[in-house]
Homo-oligomer: A and B are copies of this chain.
C-alpha cells in the first residue's frame, strides 16, 4: 500500500448499516424486524446479481422494493402501500456505523481523496450520505447508474478509476461485503475487508490484502504501510 492515492468505499453494509432499517420494520411487524431485514438484504443482493446476469437492469431502489415484496410474501406478512413506501424510504436514511464519522474525518485530514462507489442510484447515495451529514468528506459519489449493471461487474469498478483519474493499483478499495471485496480485487484494486462481525470470507479465488474489524483501524494501517 505504498502508493495509495485515493480510497473508495462501498456504501451499503460497509460505511452504513443496512440493518438499521430493522427498527422501522419492527414498527409494522413487531418482533420481526431483524428477520425481515436479513431476508430483505439477501434478496436485494440476489436481485442485483440476477438482473445484471439476465441483462435486465433496474435501479437499486426498484430491486430493494422488489426484495421487500418478496420478503413479506415469503413470511406471509401483509404489506400495505403505506408500509411499503415507509420501509423503502427508510433505506434512504440508513445510519453509518458508529466509528465512521471520526474515521472519515481522520482519513480526510491525511490528504487522501475519498469516494463512495455504490450499487445505489445517484439520488439514493446523495440522500443517504446527506442525511448522515457526511457529504463534505467525499470527493466523488459514484453510482452504477451510468453503466446499468451492478457489482461485481468490472464496468462498475472501472468507474472509480475514471473518477479519480488514477490506475487501479493506486486506489484502495474498502468493503465489508466479501463478494464485493473479491470482485474489486479481481478487477485489480488493493482491497481492505472490514470484518466487523466475524464473518467468513467468500471462496471466490481472491484474498483481501488487508483485514480490519472496524473502520477506525484504517488510518493507522495506512500510516504503517506508507512509512514501511
Q: Which A residues are closer than 8 A to B by beta carbons?
A: 43, 46-47, 49-56, 58, 66-67, 69-70, 73-74, 149-154, 179, 182-183, 186, 200, 202-205
Residues of B within 8 A of A70 (CB): 200, 202-203
Interface SS, A side: helix
10 contacts between A and B (CB under 8 A): A46-B46, A46-B202, A49-B50, A50-B204, A53-B150, A53-B151, A53-B152, A54-B154, A56-B186, A70-B203
Q: Are A54 and B182 in contact (CB under 8 A)?
A: yes
Tell me, rounded to whole Å, the shortest Cβ–Cβ distance linking A49 to chain B. Answer: 4
* Nearest CB in chain B to that of A154: its residue: B55
Bound form: Cα–Cα A130–B117 in Å: 47
Residues of B within 8 A of A51 (CB): 204
Q: Are A73 and B200 in contact (CB under 8 A)?
A: yes
Q: Are A54 and B204 in contact (CB under 8 A)?
A: yes
Residues of B within 8 A of A204 (CB): 47, 50-51, 54, 56, 66
Tell me, rounded to whole Å, the shortest Cβ–Cβ distance linking A77 to chain B. Answer: 12
